[in-house]
Structure 1
């Protein structure tokens, strides 16, 4: 018998396993795919870190997350976060709301005109209002997942890849999981399970939660298709950026060193079954992205995209879902903006799994 089984070897599961193992819990992490796979939401070399939320609660979480990132870097001995700065531009109401939230939190930032911003960042074109803050940049995402897995293992966690959970049985004060791995079908009983499986979480523990009178909100799984574009500029010319378009979907972008500038529409992809994806970009959407890049990202070659495929596990309000019922802790609904909080989320899930209370905003439905 182990204390906690963590299901999911992406960044949230790895962070939870690491946090639990560091507290002395006996942890088994199981991941249905290989280590470092590209089937979910955590693969790839870069993610944005930014504090530019219009919501005070998320800004507060960002501040805590930055401390958690620095602690993770110290523990792992790796550089995981590069503070290159970030810029938001577009709808005046959205920029004003971010400005107010950062001001209230005491986070240094600047307001610029589009011309001032274009002079500072010639690789971008701007519309509407512009805001920039320095406590932002990019996360070395693939390195982060590896750092968390390595730390979890060094603290005693067992890591099993290529192992799928095919059943979850709630015994009241413990749980038994049926596993299908390289050695065939086995089972493991634990004091608790942390279902940090993102897009797979509803299928994994939805029925068990309903048996306890709780339910997940409707999680909509989408296949997103950002792309890398070759840069004409040196790496230092690129901040992370978000464009709150006056007419069109929201857009994000950042440099991935050695691969180009990643640009994507936020949350516009088709709904998919996470187990049955084609990974093929929608041609019309790729053309629309290229047209956007040709207009607003002049520092890259819009004619030569390298498409990427990833999953979003979208909640109805884009809020995370992290809560516990009995021996079952669940984490999903990260809606394309959870990676920046990963080491903090791991600590929050470890708190939940060992008897803590959920963040009220992230609670399950009763």
Structure 2
């Protein structure tokens, strides 16, 4: 069995791992990116044609991370000659006091936003039903997911990274604070650092090396509905509703219709043993939601979508390092927009140990995360539940 020596091995060729490989390689490090499946696979959380981009968080940490990501997305577009980010504007609505918290956070961070009456919102976006005031944020839009991952890998390769698909990592062996062996069926890599950006597979690969919080892996089941109105007139949107399915989100997917989904309520799954089939009751509820709240789509003409979410109890990401092992997981539901900035954070962790906000630690404050916020021994900041991709 062969062995190669590199500075950093990145495990996981989805969006986060690809972003980390780009950021590491552009700093002049020798990098290999290992992905277990073929290019363009649909087994994880980074595939498809559309993800929401937004600055609309009540939390300054996430707003600043999204701002950084926006600049890096534009740089990536220029570097690769690929159109990735389309600004469409975004709108949140619903009878939820958390919208006031969101508006306050946007105002404190200087993010453009405005309130619209139901009639004003309906006139602007007749494809969506509004029965309460709506919060408009003009800088929101959509990212093309498949093109984004390809562009990140292309930029990484151009900067010198070796990108290898269909190369599953069988184990990671820590030999010291600055030495790790990453084993595959065809050889091993000796590196100073490994970045494990495997999301749903984090427990299996690095759970024995890093004290991860509980990770919930679910199979989410949005759908593309046929648009009755031109796709280029739609904003990204979030709707905060009560009931079993909580919040919903939506956006146009040009050529495929309007993507509408419930947020984070799919059945728990093993990522290696999924059926990819929509759960009938949830699909029926989604179609009824579209019929009631999204009059601009045909609820009877649709294509189901399947993807995984990997979430922590507090919905914050895990961006941490123990010895030579850097781990990145818990992004699903709202992580895609941040990809190039997350790559920068992971490169910092790998190369000089610079840590981001402590909420992203695997166990902030040395204690397990709780569903209310950062850790069981420190009070959590009040943060709005995240709705939408």
- TM-score, with structure 2 as normaliser: 0.90
1:1-366 matches, within 5 Å, as: 1-172=5-176, 173-180=178-185, 185-209=186-210, 215-247=211-243, 248-359=245-356, 360-365=358-363, 366=366
- In 2: Cα distance, 1:87 partner to 1:163 partner: 41
Partners of 1:54 and 1:94 within 8 A in 2: no
TM superposition shift of 1:124? 0.3
TM superposition shift of 1:54? 2.2
TM superposition shift of 1:246? 4.2
Aligned partner of residue 305 in structure 1, secondary structure: strand
Partners of 1:243 and 1:252 within 8 A in 2: yes
- In 2: Cα distance, 1:87 partner to 1:265 partner: 16
- In 2: Cα distance, 1:254 partner to 1:154 partner: 32
- In 2: Cα distance, 1:57 partner to 1:177 partner: 33
Match of 2:369 in 1: none
- In 2: Cα distance, 1:127 partner to 1:192 partner: 52
Instruction: Write out per-residue CA displacement over residues 141-191 of structure 1, whole angstroms, 9 at most, x where no aligned residue.
Output: 1111000101111111111111111111101121111102xxxx4211111
- In 1: Cα distance, 2:224 partner to 2:306 partner: 11
Match of 2:385 in 1: none
TM superposition shift of 1:37? 0.5
Instruction: Write out per-residue CA displacement over residues 318-337 of structure 1, whole angstroms, 9 at most, x where no aligned residue.
Output: 00000111110000011310
- In 1: Cα distance, 2:187 partner to 2:66 partner: 40
TM superposition shift of 1:216? 0.7
Task: Note closer, same or farther for the CA distance 1:14–1:36 as it changes in structure 2 (3 Å cut).
Answer: same
- In 2: Cα distance, 1:340 partner to 1:16 partner: 14
- In 1: Cα distance, 2:240 partner to 2:165 partner: 39
Aligned partner of residue 142 in structure 1, secondary structure: helix
**Which aligned runs of 4 or more in structure 1 are off by greater than 4 angstroms?**
none
Question: Aligned-residue CA RMSD in angstroms?
Answer: 1.1
Partners of 1:52 and 1:102 within 8 A in 2: yes
- In 2: Cα distance, 1:150 partner to 1:35 partner: 12
- TM-score, with structure 1 as normaliser: 0.95
- In 2: Cα distance, 1:312 partner to 1:29 partner: 22
Match of 1:212 in 2: none
Partners of 1:92 and 1:129 within 8 A in 2: no
TM superposition shift of 1:50? 1.0
